[in-house]
């Protein structure tokens, strides 16, 4: 099956919500809020990049990138996530295609790098490396990773968009 990766359109919003909810539901690390987080980010115009994977005219996956904030004021940092693929279609490299397309767009934008919280066993294949010393307060240090993309590597704590923590305020 051919997969097309493209930016989201308003017609995709309901499918993104549905896939994200069902993909995260069985995950022990899910807080059950990922689908609503994407909507909150979109409503705040904070979706820096949202790509969908389309197969036979249907959305089967989505990846979100938002702006991230370095404590030293350096620009060009982004965060990856949530990312989700239709449960029945997982492990067919759809997630990999979404992530690689997003990283390519970050490179085109001249990004300094990308951070995320996730399993290093998965994200290591895209070049993400653990950076526990630069993990923002409140995030799991063992899962915090950075993909450096610029000439200057990361040297300060890099925080996620405040909406990632709006449920804790
Ligand atoms: C994570 C996800 C987007 C990856 O998409 P995908 O299309 O299934 O991924 P790919 O086909 O590119 O890669 C599949 C591989 O990743 C592994 N993998 C997927 N999620 C993983 C995770 N959270 N931790 C470790 N490995 C993971 C699979 O076991 C598989 O391994 P293999 O290549 O050795 O067989 C998808 O599995 C998903 O929607 N999961 C539920 C939501 C979720 O956990 N999102 C990420 C939160 S950090």
48 Cα: distance to centroid of ligand 1 (angstroms): 22
Better-scored residue on pLDDT, 141 or 152? 141
Please tell me the CATH superfamily of domain 4-168, with its number.
Answer: Gcn5-related N-acetyltransferase (GNAT) (3.40.630.30)
pLDDT in the model for residue 167: 61
71 Cα: distance to centroid of ligand 1 (angstroms): 30
pLDDT in the model for residue 97: 98
pLDDT in tens, 1-46: 799 999 999 999 999 999 999 999 999 999 999 999 999 999 999 9
Closest residue CA from atom 25 of ligand 1: 122
In angstroms, the CA 66 to CA 42 distance is: 10
Closest residue CA from atom 17 of ligand 1: 122
On the question of pLDDT at 155 being above 90, the answer is yes
Mean pLDDT of the chain: 96
Structure tokens at 13: 């919003």
146 Cα: distance to centroid of ligand 1 (angstroms): 18
Can you tell me which atom of ligand 1 is nearest the CA of 92?
11
pLDDT in tens, 101-136: 999 999 999 999 999 999 999 999 999 999 999 999
74 Cα: distance to centroid of ligand 1 (angstroms): 31
pLDDT in the model for residue 134: 98
Closest residue CA from atom 48 of ligand 1: 118
H helical segments located in the chain: 13-24, 34-43, 94-108, 120-123
83 Cβ inside 6 Å of ligand 1: yes
Q: How confident is the model at residue 99 (pLDDT cuts 50, 70, 90)?
A: very high
> What is the mean predicted confidence (pLDDT) over 131-158?
95
In angstroms, the CA 75 to CA 160 distance is: 13
95 Cβ inside 6 Å of ligand 1: yes
β-partners of residue 66 are: 79
Can you tell me which atom of ligand 1 is nearest the CA of 87?
39
Would you tell me how many other CB atoms lie within 10 Å of the CB of residue 143? 16
Q: What crossing angle do the helices spanning 34-43 and 13-24 adopt, rounded to 10°?
A: 150
pLDDT in the model for residue 169: 39
pLDDT in tens, 41-71: 999 999 999 999 999 999 999 999 999 999 9
Q: How confident is the model at residue 72 (pLDDT cuts 50, 70, 90)?
A: very high
pLDDT in the model for residue 18: 98
Closest residue CA from atom 5 of ligand 1: 95
In angstroms, the CA 149 to CA 111 distance is: 6
């Amino acid at each position: 099956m051919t997969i097309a990766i493209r930016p989201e359109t308003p017609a995709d919003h309901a499918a993104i919500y549905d896939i994200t909810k069902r993909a995260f539901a069985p995950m022990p690390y899910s807080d059950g809020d990922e689908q609503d987080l994407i909507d909150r980010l979109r409503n705040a115009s904070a979706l820096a990049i949202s790509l969908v994977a389309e197969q036979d005219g249907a959305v089967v996956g989505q990846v979100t990138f938002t702006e991230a904030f370095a404590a030293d004021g350096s620009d060009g940092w982004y965060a990856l996530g949530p990312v989700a693929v239709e449960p029945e279609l997982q492990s067919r490299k759809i997630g990999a295609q979404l992530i690689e397309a997003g990283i390519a767009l970050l490179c085109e934008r001249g990004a300094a790098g990308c951070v995320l919280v996730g399993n290093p066993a998965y994200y290591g294949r895209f070049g993400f490396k653990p950076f526990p010393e630069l993990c923002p307060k409140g995030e799991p240090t063992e899962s915090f990773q950075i993909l450096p993309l610029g000439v200057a590597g990361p040297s300060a704590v890099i925080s996620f968009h405040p909406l990632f923590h709006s449920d804790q305020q």
